[in-house]
C-alpha cells in the first residue's frame, strides 16, 4: 500500500472511495460532510436516511464506518465515519484510530482499491492536527500490516455491495490524505515520511555519513521534499513554497481545472497538478526552488496584484497553446 498526502478538494477525487467525516445523524452537516452531500446530490441523503431507519436508529457510533454509493461524485463509494469530538469529552485516541481503520475495512469490503481521507476530527471537533496526522497515518500503516483489530463491518447500506474482507491480501493499493490547508498538508507529509520503512538502498555501503548528519540533514543543508536547502533558509523557503503553491492553485482553478498538490517525496518533488473534468492532466508546476524563486520575483514585481497577474499570465499561455498550430 502506498500512502500519500496531497492538497486539494476531497469531493473531486477520482478514486474508488472517499471517506466522509460525518456526524452520528448521517444526515449531513457542515465542513467536509456538507461538501460531500452537496457534491453527491440528494440521493446520498436519501441513502443515509435509509441507513438510519434500518441499521442505526440511534445514529452511527463514534469510530464506526458504513458505506453508501457515491452518486454524483467521481468516487463510486462514500465511507461515512464519525470521528470523536474533543469538545464533547471524546478524547480517547483509540476512537480516532478506529475511525480511520474501520473506514479502510469498510472500503476493502466494498472492493475499493484507492481511498481518500480528510483529516477526521481535525476541524470543528477540536483535535490538534499534528495528533490527527500521527494517529491517522499509524492507523493506516497498522491496517495495511494486519495488526489492527477492527470490528465485523457487517453490511453496508447497499445490499449489492461485495464482501471482500476475507481476502488474504488487502485490496487497497493507495490511501490519500486530502488536506485543505498547507499547514495540515505539511504535517501529514512529515508524518508519512517519519514513519516510512527504512530504505536499505541508501546510503550505499561505501558511503559514510559525517557525525551529526542524517538522511535529511547534512553539511548545513536540510532536505525539503526533493531539494537540499541551506539550514538558515528553510523556514522562509517553506513559507514561500506554500505561497507559490497557493498562487498556482488559485490560477489553475480560475481556468476551471481540478487542482491537487501531490507527488511529495517523488524524485522530481511535489507539484501542483491541474486536470480537466475527464481527469486528463492539462498543466503542472513543480514546487522546486526555481518555481519558488520565480514566484518571489513575481511578488516583488506586482506586489498585492501578484495573484491576479499570475491568473492572467497562465490564461494567456493556455490560450496561446490552444491556438498554436500542431504538426
The yes-or-no answer on residue 288 being catalytic is no
Determine contact, residues 172/107, Cβ cutoff 8 Å.
yes
Instruction: Write out the three cell numbers for 233.
Output: 533558509
Determine contact, residues 174/1, Cβ cutoff 8 Å.
yes
Neighbours of 92 (CB within 10 A): 12
Out of 33, 114, 225, 288, which one is annotated catalytic? 33
Determine contact, residues 52/25, Cβ cutoff 8 Å.
yes
Residue 157, φ and ψ in degrees, nearest 5: -75, -5
Total number of residues shown for the chain: 327
What is the C-alpha separation between 149 and 63, in angstroms, rounded? 13
What is the C-alpha separation between 228 and 232, in angstroms, rounded? 12
**Alpha carbon 320 to chain centroid, angstroms:** 33
Residue with the three cell numbers 522530481: 268
What is the C-alpha separation between 18 and 32, in angstroms, rounded? 11
Residue 316 three-state SS: helix
DSSP 218: E
Active site residues: 33
Amino acid at each position: 500500500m502506498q500512502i500519500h498526502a496531497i492538497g486539494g478538494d476531497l469531493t473531486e477525487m477520482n478514486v474508488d472511495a472517499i471517506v466522509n467525516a460525518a456526524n452520528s445523524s448521517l444526515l449531513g452537516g457542515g465542513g467536509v460532510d456538507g461538501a460531500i452531500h452537496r457534491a453527491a446530490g440528494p440521493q446520498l441523503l436519501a441513502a443515509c436516511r435509509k441507513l438510519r431507519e434500518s441499521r442505526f436508529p440511534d445514529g452511527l457510533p463514534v469510530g464506526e464506518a458504513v458505506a453508501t454509493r457515491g452518486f454524483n461524485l467521481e468516487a463510486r463509494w462514500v465511507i461515512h465515519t464519525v470521528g470523536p469530538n474533543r469538545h464533547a469529552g471524546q478524547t480517547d485516541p483509540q476512537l480516532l484510530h478506529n475511525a480511520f481503520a474501520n473506514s479502510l475495512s469498510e472500503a476493502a469490503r466494498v472492493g475499493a482499491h484507492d481511498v481518500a481521507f480528510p483529516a477526521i476530527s481535525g476541524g470543528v471537533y477540536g483535535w490538534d492536527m499534528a495528533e490527527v496526522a500521527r494517529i491517522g497515518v499509524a492507523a493506516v500503516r497498522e491496517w495495511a500490516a494486519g495488526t489492527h483489530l477492527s470490528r465485523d463491518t457487517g453490511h453496508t447500506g447497499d445490499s449489492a455491495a461485495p464482501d471482500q474482507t476475507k481476502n488474504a491480501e488487502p485490496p487497497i493499493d493507495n490511501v490519500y490524505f486530502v488536506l485543505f490547508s498547507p499547514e495540515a498538508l505539511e504535517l501529514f507529509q512529515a508524518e508519512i515520511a517519519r514513519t516510512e520503512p527504512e530504505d536499505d538502498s541508501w546510503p550505499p555501503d561505501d558511503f559514510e555519513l559525517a557525525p551529526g548528519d542524517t538522511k535529511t540533514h547534512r553539511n548545513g543543508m536540510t532536505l525539503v521534499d526533493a531539494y537540499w536547502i541551506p539550514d538558515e533558509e528553510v523556514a522562509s523557503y517553506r513559507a514561500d513554497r506554500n505561497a507559490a503553491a497557493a498562487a498556482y492553485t488559485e490560477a489553475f482553478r480560475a481556468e476551471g481545472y481540478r487542482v491537487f498538490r501531490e507527488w511529495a517525496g517523488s524524485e522530481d518533488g511535489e507539484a501542483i497538478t491541474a486536470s480537466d473534468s475527464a481527469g486528463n492532466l492539462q498543466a503542472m508546476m513543480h514546487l522546486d526552488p526555481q518555481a519558488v524563486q520565480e514566484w518571489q520575483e513575481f511578488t516583488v514585481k506586482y506586489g498585492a496584484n501578484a495573484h491576479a497577474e499570475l491568473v492572467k499570465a497562465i490564461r494567456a499561455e493556455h490560450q496561446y497553446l490552444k491556438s498554436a498550430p500542431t504538426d
